[in-house]
Amino acid sequence: MNNIVAIVGRPNVGKSTLFNRLIQRREAIVDSVSGVTRDRNYGKSEWNGKEFSVIDTGGYVRGSDDVFEGEIRKQVELAIDEADVIIFVVDVEEGITPMDETVAKLLRKVTKPVLLAVNKVDNAMREKDAIEFYNLGLGDYYTFASISGSGTGDLLDALIDAFPEKPVVEVKEDLPRFAVVGRPNAGKSSFINALIGQDRYIVTDIAGTTRDAIDTKFDRFGFEFNLVDTAGIRRKAKVKEDLEFYSVMRSVRAIEHADICILVIDATRGFEGQDQSIFWLAEKNRKGVVILVNKWDLVEKDTMSTRDYEEKIKKELMPFTDVPILFVSALTKQRLLKALEATVQVFENRKQRIATSKFNEYMLKVIEAYPPPATKGKYVKIKYCMQLPTATPQFVFFANMPQYVKEPYKRYLENKIRENWDFAGVPIDIYIREK
């Protein structure tokens, strides 16, 4: 299971620059597609062969300076709750500020590893100035300059050393894992209770009363799988947190270790920015996705309602619109079996294998009917294609000049694959390689 690293600190100390430097080896999971979370605040990084997830708490501070202190406190508490290691970034130019002291006071009570990182140290003079940070009472510190990158190697070495040894989790009987994800109060727990037939998850009207991902073995109606939900009761004090940030952090773990994500959205609120963030998180992690529009019984309907609603959601999902969308009610148990059937189908779609001969027979005709557009008078010829033996659907097309095959043509190939084979709910990767 991946370790989670949280970067904390007051505004403008270079948290985001450090974050971007850490994830540049790998694409950030949350894109800068409009509406997909403010900024890119979650990504994957890797150092010395160890992969880990990085959360930049900075993207979630908003409001004026006088609001910051409360916001910072909330974020640090969240990071303490969620992360395995915390990097606390301070700025050598400004020295220790009252807000740094506030953060340090919170971090001194923590049993998790905390790395104090002093930013903007790019010469010997500033190296001396950094000694002041011993006064924060967090022990040794690491100096670095996030813009040039100097010193980040030592910080990363220390980070890897600080990771706790994770116990090997025994996955029950190798069953598929379906994660129930979504923004707080969309009805995830009610959905699971309705399926399992018992109130094993505490359902309240307070948004965000669930905590910690728990696996439940589901074995009813002829289906068998592990349901992953963020379950359990939250301490009362925690309910006032920044729930958007919380739900993304929560979803990170659940999504990374699932096969299929069941994204539950609240019909009365629509497909909001937070739902989109979670959807793109699942898509970037190459997981299968089913969208359940919950609380459909509470919506005023006319004959076009479901179609209009579906069109609206698909518009937000472009270009990945081949996703099952079902309208359910956890309360009245309406269409819950349908939802299960759709999820199992997506799981089957994700692991299907197409014989190379059949794939070529169909796709080469499609390519002949509409070949890649010529570039600078050069014609691209694709003579052979196949599905790769990977855990998620990936296809490779061999061409004489792969560099001239652009994104729109790859999308055309993907659409043709989807027309002929059922890959609903599953992200597909297309690669063009030299013969």
Residue list for the binding site: 9-16, 56-60, 119-122, 182-189, 229-233, 294-297
- Tokens 């999902």 belong to which residue? 317
Contact 244, 271 (CB under 8 A): no
**Distance between CA atoms of 383 and 399, rounded to whole angstroms?**
7
Contact 311, 54 (CB under 8 A): no
**Helix ranges, 257-385 (H):** 273-284, 305-317, 336-351, 356-369
Q: How many residues does the chain have?
A: 435
- Tokens 């209009």 belong to which residue? 308
**Distance between CA atoms of 283 and 149, rounded to whole angstroms?**
30
- Tokens 């000049």 belong to which residue? 401
User: Where is the binding site for GTP, in residues?
Assistant: 9-16, 56-60, 119-122, 182-189, 229-233, 294-297
**Distance between CA atoms of 89 and 100, rounded to whole angstroms?**
9
Antiparallel, parallel or unpaired: β 213-220 and 394-399? unpaired
In sequence order, what E strands does 313-408 have?
Answer: 325-327, 382-387, 394-399
**Distance between CA atoms of 106 and 26, rounded to whole angstroms?**
31
Measured from the Cβ of residue 11, the count of other Cβ atoms closer than 10 Å reads: 13
Q: How many CA atoms lie within 13 A of 412 on its CB side?
A: 15
Tokens standing for residue 56: 């930049």
